[in-house]
């Protein structure tokens, strides 16, 4: 049974339109015109218990709006939404007990209190049994290395420390589902790695369902098998990372070091991406020619000293899709 | 609590300022009473008691304990409260009352000092009890008024103008600065039709004995009525606001 079920979800924001300047301000007192902004147009997906899904899209694609509907703080304009059998916005409190949320840009910790006190308050708010609380705290303190700053007021914590605190806070009540909204934003490499490690551990060991929105595709590559790609408020891809790479990553790059400076170096069926002295990057479609055949083709005409192949990274694939839209890669790759 | 206690400096400055104000108020009333005939039901010692107790009550009542609601609507962090399995208005009530209780703790030393500087009357134990009940009802009236004002932020995100007006009306018609009983009759009538008199005037007049025991039930009933009316309005406004909540940014 699916733990999250979204069908034809739609959210339209209505805001008042105002002409600029003093005239506009006065006019706004008498007439009201509204502009509708479609944040989420038509989004459907379903998640199984224990899945870890990357929810990806450019700025303004509707990621955060979807998350807010999932948490019950935004009411969908239309569509059906069920989270663990509950309609979030009609049963906000029951839904809240099932979920944990981490916003990279917003903390749910109490600013002036030592970190430990925030946890104590959350324990009371979520009504976590004392022994379960202690057990979780011990576990999280271990993985997230919290002990060093448990008694420091939150406002004095570094961003990395605060984020680790926020993760522990979101997981304290053993939520069935956690929503992570850009959890690694602004973190250094080490802190990012610690957070990723934690997300992976929680998903594996506790079977927590995770929805992860991020701009850092390394998060997704490291953690999730499935990604949902959205743009303009609609789902443009939903499936495994491998399939996306397969369909879109049709172009690989062959890096060749030439033994001699051939001024008119050229290889049929490839495109020269760049050339710095004797180092040439060639782009080729692996559906048209295998790497082996290509290398043979090169060595037939030229002397080379070294060769390597660069696989397409998920980041460039996603960038391509944002720019050109998604079309099914089976009938030939987009250029 | 720890959040408030962080600002220890605050504690000392506010005690000092209370003492100065208590002293000044006494001088003002002394001067006024020296030139005019005293009203029969508020002799000099009663008016000094009245304004000193009013000042100390103000330490608690003048706090906008739901300010956090406005702030959180403004910066969008209200979202994290809505993501918790709690009643959000109750949370603000608890949070605000906690803050108020902290400030109330300040009153104890101020009260003792005030007793040293100026002589104020202390009523009998039963009257003190009724005063405290009335004070609490007044606190609830004040809470709901502040809550409603901060709820305006659901719609416009700017509430200062409205708050200024209400502060001004409260100052005039609440009885915190000038007892309503020395107002001209028509102003008194207006004042008693507004909820603000329930905040200061009623408990204070009980304290100084202008309201006699036979009227206790009546005046407490009026306060309770205001609490109920405002609570009902507040719950409607809250529901309407929560429905149209648009989280800023993010």
Q: Which fold has domain A250-311?
A: Alpha-Beta Plaits (3.30.70)
Task: Answer whether residue B22 shows pLDDT above 90.
Answer: no
Surface-to-core class of residue A209, CB atoms within 10 Å of its CB (0-12 exposed, 13-18 middle, 19+ buried) = buried
User: Are A179 and A99 in contact, with CB atoms under 8 Å apart?
Assistant: yes
Closest CA to B166 of B21, B66, B16: B66
Structural domain of residue B165, as residue ranges? 2-243
Q: Do A103 and B3 touch (CB under 8 A)?
A: no
Question: What pLDDT does B157 receive?
Answer: 64
Q: Quick one: pLDDT band at residue B4, thresholds 50, 70, 90?
A: low
Domain count, chain B: 1
Instruction: Please list every residue in chain B whose beta carbon sits closer than 8 Å to the beta carbon of residue A91.
Output: none
Q: Do A112 and B2 touch (CB under 8 A)?
A: yes
Pair of tokens at residue A85: 């059998």
Domain contains B249: no
Q: Do B79 and A68 touch (CB under 8 A)?
A: yes
Suggest the residue from A103, A105, A177 to mutate for an interface test with chain B (most B CBs closer than 10 A): A103
- Closest-CA distance, B220 to chain A, in angstroms, reads 34
Q: Do B76 and A106 touch (CB under 8 A)?
A: yes
Domain boundaries, chain A: 2-245, 250-311
pLDDT in tens, chain A (335 residues): 789 999 999 998 877 676 777 777 777 777 777 788 888 999 999 999 999 999 988 888 888 889 989 998 888 889 999 999 999 988 888 999 999 999 888 888 888 889 999 999 999 999 999 999 999 999 999 888 889 999 999 999 999 899 999 999 999 999 999 999 988 888 888 888 888 999 999 999 999 999 999 888 888 888 888 999 998 899 988 998 888 877 777 788 899 998 888 888 888 888 888 888 888 998 888 888 888 889 998 888 888 999 998 877 777 777 778 777 766 544 444 43
When CB atoms are compared, the residue of A72, A108, A125 closest to B86 is A125
pLDDT in tens, A112-157: 889 999 999 999 999 999 999 999 999 999 888 889 999 999 999 9
Q: Do A64 and B77 touch (CB under 8 A)?
A: no
Question: What pLDDT does A185 receive?
Answer: 86
Its pTM stands at 0.77
pLDDT in tens, B193-230: 899 999 999 999 999 999 999 999 999 999 999 999 99
Domain contains B168: yes
Does the ipTM surpass 0.85? no
- 3-state SS string over chain B? CHHHHCCHHHHHHHHHHHHHHHHHHHHHHHHHHHHCCCCCCCCHHHHHHHHHHHHHHHHHHCCCCCHHHHHHHHHCCHHHHHCCCCCHHHHHHHHHHHHHHHHHHHHHHHHHHHHHHCCCCCCCHHHHHHHHHHHHHHHHHHHHHHHHHHHHHHCCCCCHHHHHHHHHHHHHHCCCCCCHHHCCHHHHHHHHHCHHHHCCHHHHHHHHCCCCHHHHHHHHHHHHHHHHHHHHHHHHHHHHHHHCCCCCCC
Closest CA to B18 of B58, B69, B49, B45: B58
Q: Which CATH class is domain A2-245?
A: alpha beta
């Amino acid at each position: 049974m699916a733990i999250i079920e979204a069908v034809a979800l739609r959210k339209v924001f209505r805001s008042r339109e105002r002409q600029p300047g003093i005239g506009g301000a006065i006019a706004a007192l008498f007439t009201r015109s509204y502009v509708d902004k479609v944040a989420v147009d038509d989004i459907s997906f379903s998640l199984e218990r224990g899945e870890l899904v990357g929810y990806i899209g450019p700025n303004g694609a509707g990621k955060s709006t979807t998350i807010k509907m999932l948490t019950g703080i935004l009411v969908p304009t239309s569509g059906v939404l069920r989270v663990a059998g509950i309609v979030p916005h009609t049963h906000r409190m029951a839904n809240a007990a099932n979920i944990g949320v981490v916003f990279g840009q917003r903390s749910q910790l109490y600013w002036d209190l030592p970190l430990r006190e925030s946890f104590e308050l959350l324990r009371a708010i979520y009504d976590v049994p004392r022994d379960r609380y202690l057990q979780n705290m011990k576990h999280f303190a271990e993985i997230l290395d919290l002990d060093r700053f448990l008694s420091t007021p939150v406002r004095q914590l570094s961003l990395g420390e605060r984020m680790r605190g926020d993760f522990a806070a979101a997981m304290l009540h053993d939520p069935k589902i956690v929503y992570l909204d850009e959890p690694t934003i602004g973190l250094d490499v080490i802190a990012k790695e610690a957070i990723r490690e934690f997300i992976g551990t929680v998903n594996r060991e506790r079977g927590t369902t995770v929805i992860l929105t991020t701009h850092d595709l390394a998060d997704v590559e490291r953690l999730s098998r499935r990604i949902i790609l959205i743009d303009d408020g609609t789902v443009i891809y939903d499936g495994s990372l491998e399939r996306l790479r397969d369909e879109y990553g049709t172009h690989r790059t062959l890096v060749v070091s030439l033994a001699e400076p051939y001024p008119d170096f050229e290889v049929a069926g490839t495109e020269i991406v760049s050339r710095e002295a004797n180092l040439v990057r060639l782009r080729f479609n692996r559906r048209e020619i295998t790497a082996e055949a290509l290398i043979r083709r090169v060595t037939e005409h030229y002397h080379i000293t070294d060769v390597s192949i660069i696989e397409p990274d998920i980041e460039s694939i996603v960038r391509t899709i944002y720019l050109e839209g998604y079309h099914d890669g089976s009938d030939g790759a987009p250029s | 609590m720890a959040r408030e206690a962080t600002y220890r400096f605050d504690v000392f400055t506010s005690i000092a300022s209370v003492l100065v104000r208590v002293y000044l108020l006494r001088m003002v009333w002394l001067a006024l009473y020296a030139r005019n005939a005293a009203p029969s039901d508020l002799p000099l010692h009663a008016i000094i008691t009245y304004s000193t107790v009013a000042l100390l009550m103000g330490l608690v009542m003048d706090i906008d304990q739901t300010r956090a609601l406005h702030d959180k609507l403004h910066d969008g962090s209200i979202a994290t409260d809505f993501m918790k399995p709690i009643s959000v208005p109750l949370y603000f009530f608890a949070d605000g009352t906690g803050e108020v209780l902290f400030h109330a703790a300040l009153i104890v030393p101020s009260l003792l000092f005030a007793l040293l500087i100026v002589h104020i009357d202390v009523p009998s134990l039963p009257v003190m009890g009724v005063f405290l009940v009335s004070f609490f009802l007044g606190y609830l009236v004040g809470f709901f008024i502040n809550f409603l004002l901060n709820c305006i932020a659901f719609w416009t995100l700017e509430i200062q103008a409205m708050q200024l007006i209400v502060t001004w009306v409260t100052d005039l018609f609440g009885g915190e600065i000038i007892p309503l009983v020395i107002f001209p009759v028509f102003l008194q009538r207006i004042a008693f039709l507004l909820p603000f008199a329930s905040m200061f005037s009623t408990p204070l007049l009980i304290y100084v004995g202008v309201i006699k025991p036979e009227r206790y039930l009546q005046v407490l009933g009026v306060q309770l009525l205001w609490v109920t009316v405002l609570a009902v309005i507040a719950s409607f406004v809250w529901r309407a606001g929560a429905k149209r909540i648009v989280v800023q940014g993010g």
